[in-house]
Structure formats: structure tokens, C-alpha cells
Structure 1
């Protein structure tokens, strides 16, 4: 199943000069329920914000808010108002350098980190909501969109995160992008190559992953 993802600021490519700087982020492994960096468009500018990972319905009662949605399949968008509404008007990008799949232990496949071969960064497609707290403050929550896995990845998990190509990032964030163009991004073929690395092989050079190897 899908688990965590990582972002390390040292991998930030220089060709993202039009986006807010991510250099000052410490990076690390992000888990559902934590606050994580996202990119959104506000007042015609791309801004860096920290939202809570795990989408919560704005209309949910306070007692129900422990139930959150870290991942959301693109195939469910048309059937679920919680996904459909933000996909039209509240889209975000989540910067990452890799994500983790905890495969079925019964198959002996273990845990893997998926990254692109040059260890560069990329962005997941995300959607977000704003919920009002009992004290009057607001919290933004987000989910990473997923799509059916193909090839080798399909043996590890039924779904994988949806990556937005760099040349389409601005279109994804822009609330004025026509819906037909957004749907094209949701379901377009993604030829991105990737490396699939067993987590235990990463431990010697990446101490922050020690807990994942347990």
C-alpha cells in the first residue's frame, strides 16, 4: 500500500525559478496527519504554504475529523463531492523526491522507495479543503491524488501518486484552467521513468529512514 513520501531541499532543481524557493525546508519524510509544504496559487502568484496531510470535508462535524483522507483516486472524483469540488477550484502541488510503498508482507516484497533516476524533485497532484475550527481559526487539509498503477508498480500497490509534468504545473494550479484540460492531466499517460529501490538499501546513506526498515 502507499505510505509516506519524502522531500529533501538539496534536490530542488534550479529550473523552478518561477516557483517559491524551497531551499530553506529541512526536508524529511512526511506522514499522514502532519503539516507538509504545498504550492498553491493565490492572487495570481504561486505561494508556499503548510497544510495538514489528510483531506477533511469542510462540512464534517468536529467529532468526525479524526477520519481523514491522505490519498484520493482520480477514478472517484466524479462520484464524491469531497473530491469533485476542490478538483475544480482548490488544487495544489506537493513537492517530493520520492514516495514509499509498503508492499504485501505475505508476498515477501518488502518496502520500496520510488524516485526518478536522477534523484530530482517532482510534484504530486493534490487537492485541498479549508475547515473551520471551534476556536474560529481555519486549517487547510490536502490529499494526494492517485491513479491505477501499471507495470512493475502494479505488483506492489493498486494505485500510485499522480505526478504533474513540470510544463503543466502552472496550469494545474491556475483556478481558471478549463476543466477539460484538468481532466486531461488527471487521466493522461505518464511516461516518466522511475527507480524502485528497496528501503533497506537506502538505510546506510539515509539515516532518516531507519524507522521505515523496522
Structure 2
């Protein structure tokens, strides 16, 4: 799974990796070393691929009664995603790129568990396959809420010793473009959801403070134990 990640990126990185014309959120970029469920994350949607948006993490289906379900919908398993009630419409019509610099995962062992920071080995930004939704409160007088989920699947060689799931990464411009293509047949969309190649990622242990959402600073990225 993917339950925490970080957004510590610059405008220069975004424009270099995506497009010089990429439109940033109205309030600009805000660093977050410890993005947690229900917080805001950066996404690029198939609806507007030239715009970087801030959506709420945790998919809330359009049919949901309230926002509470979102806390349980931060991840979507890639296996059978096209048939699951909460995801079968978004996988066909509402796909997004979830942008980050790294994510965290905890490796369990006899003495407890150790958190790791995991990031692209080539220094690029992390681009995770996601789905988004628009949820409208029933009163009709409140603005809609835009939410997203991160798709997960089987781990590659780097991730396997740490966890049995990992985010499905879109590792190059071609796969990212295809993911946002609204005319792409479903079979081709699903074919993009596969374990990234070995060597795509690197990782190192970080402090246990990342487990507390109240902690949010550069110390969360510091390597420990070496």
C-alpha cells in the first residue's frame, strides 16, 4: 500500500519534467514532508492535463453519503480494478497522475517496524497512477469536493523486502501521456498498470517520527542508522 508520501518539489522540477506551460495551483506550491490521508495532494488529471491541481487524498465516490469513506479509499488495488464499484467508472473516465518526490513504507521485523523513504533512482519526480472523483454534497449549496486514490500492485525487486504492495508508477512521458488519454481503450489502460522495472527506485531508513502526522519537516527525509 501507500499510506504516506512527501511533496517537496519546485516549480522548476515540474516544468522540466512535464511542461513549461503547466499551470500551478492558485496558491502556489506548498511543501509537505508527511502527506497523510484526507490531506491535499498534487494531481494532474485527464480533464485538464495542463493544470496542476490540489485534490483531497482518499477517493469519495459520487454516490457516497458523506466524505468519511475517503479515509478508507486512499489506495486502489490494480487487480480487478475495472470491476470494483468504487473504481470501475473512474478507471474508464477519471484518471490522474499523483505527483510526489518520495513515499514512505514500513518494513516489519521481529523488533517492530522500520520506516523507509523511497524515491526514483534517477532523481526525477515520482509519478503514481491515480483515479479521481468529484463529490457533491447533498445540500447542493456547497462546492464539490475533488478527491483521488493511488493505485497499488505487486512490488518490484527493491520494494519486495520492504512490503508486498507498492504504488503503480508511470515512469516515462509516454506512459504518463497514455494514462491521461481519455480515448485509450480500457484494455490498454489496464496494461499500463504493471510493476515498474527493477532499479527504478532507491530507498533508505528514516526516523520513526514520520509515523506521526503532526511531524512535518526536513528531518523526516534524513537518513538514519548508517
| Fold-level similarity (TM above 0.5) | yes
Alignment gaps of 5+ in structure 1: none
Q: CA 1:111 to 1:40, structure 2 compared with 1: closer, same or farther past 3 Å?
A: same
Q: CA 1:191 to 1:128, structure 2 compared with 1: closer, same or farther past 3 Å?
A: same
Match of 2:178 in 1: 171
Q: Which structure has greater strand proportion? A: 1
Q: Hey, what's the Cα distance between the residues in 2 that align with 1:63 and 1:162?
A: 25
Q: CA 1:93 to 1:106, structure 2 compared with 1: closer, same or farther past 3 Å?
A: same
SS in 2 for 1:87: helix
> Does structure 1 residue 123 correspond to structure 2 residue 127?
yes
Taking structure 2 as the reference length, what is the TM-score of the superposition? 0.79
Aligned residues: 208
Q: Hey, what's the Cα distance between the residues in 2 that align with 1:63 and 1:99?
A: 24
Q: CA deviation at 1:18?
A: 5.4
Match of 1:150 in 2: 156
Q: Which structure has greater helix proportion? A: 1
Match of 2:137 in 1: 133
Q: CA deviation at 1:78?
A: 3.4
SS in 2 for 1:169: helix
Match of 1:17 in 2: 19
Q: CA deviation at 1:169?
A: 1.1
- Contact 1:76-1:83 within 8 A present in 2 as well: no
Q: Hey, what's the Cα distance between the residues in 1 that align with 2:20 and 2:186?
A: 24
Q: Hey, what's the Cα distance between the residues in 2 that align with 1:54 and 1:200?
A: 25
Q: CA deviation at 1:160?
A: 0.2
RMSD of aligned Cα (Å): 2.9
Q: Hey, what's the Cα distance between the residues in 1 that align with 2:55 and 2:178?
A: 21
